[in-house]
Structure 1
């Protein structure tokens, strides 16, 4: 039997699906737990707070097992291994899986040439994440393709990465979200949503990708039906892209853009509540 072929569809911030996704986060204020690196933690927390979620970040004693089970959504940024351990991450993942908490894997710097690090990411990817979110090079490497990353930066294009992302979605059972000049969100059953927009300064702000993973986890926390997760993940990307566009207009550079980006997310949230 041949797999069903779906035509890709496009989603922007004014799609009917976007407002409800953001309103659910504000209405329910989900507790979102993250394991990320100290470089990205502040922006991730601020993004989640701007959207109305309640974040906790870090691997203090007892947190991974306790918060992994208690959270509405979990996200694990592999670069958090800078300041957490593999045991911390697997404890949080195991607790989330046992409690039925959806979780997001961000395979930062996968394929950049650190074999021991890549092996840990592969072990986490085998633990049934609901979503895998990364740039083109990371997704290609995790899918088993050629390693093309330069540190944490991608050297591959979205066009190159989509076939790998589709294969990874099928093999892992996870939704795969690839960030780039336009974002692609891919489901295990072959559906594909393309999100245009955004701004190049997102790549000049440390932690913007990690914060997106946290916001996806918040969206999953308020999406009770797994069949609706693809739309939620795409809606979060579309809102993220629109906030970047809003922030870029008055910004003088990446620093003011980062501040304006958090403000824009809060403004979009307020509009969604109207």
Structure 2
């Protein structure tokens, strides 16, 4: 994982756009949690679950709704404040996946929703193994736009042209989760497809929360978002967008 200034700046940028993150980011379909249970071989109901890099609690709330005994783990002040405003009844612990503030063998499942790539796997994978009980698992997943759809590809090209030093697009998760099998975890994967219907303004709110824009100042973001609004309204003149997502899931089970 790079130590570059841009990367470190992006990693700490989310706190300033926590409200936009909560309003704009997509949630997850029930099928995701069905797939987690199937690949893990256990039910979420009653499981002790850590949602690491919980952000504003989007996944945390859904895990709790499935009956998990979930604890959120979040390092950012801004994101933690938004989490407490959005989910005041759910427990929140400040920390990171690279140094989990939990006892050995104290969790059944450790989840990373859009977050594992912000860890250092050489640290976070051994930490997960330490904290997991035998038969426990790490579940890492990413909602990414379906780049087979023409308007999604066109937006990728616009972002790459506007932000050549920041925008990298989606390179797949195999590089992020390749540390699981060498660490002795049994790895399973699934890919799901789903979509949501939102307004163009909602899309722009979501974009504001993405690291490549969140790490810019509001003045720097404004022209990029204005150009994107114009392009999106040309594509969707009624202001309504059907966003197609690929949901990439890896579940890695601790043997024993």
| TM-score of Structure 1 vs Structure 2, range by shorter chain | 0.3 to 0.5
Please tell me whether Structure 1 or Structure 2 has the larger radius of gyration of its CA atoms.
Answer: 2
Question: Which structure dedicates a bigger proportion of its chain to strand?
Answer: 2
Q: TM-score, normalised by structure 1?
A: 0.33
| TM-score, scaled relative to structure 2 | 0.35
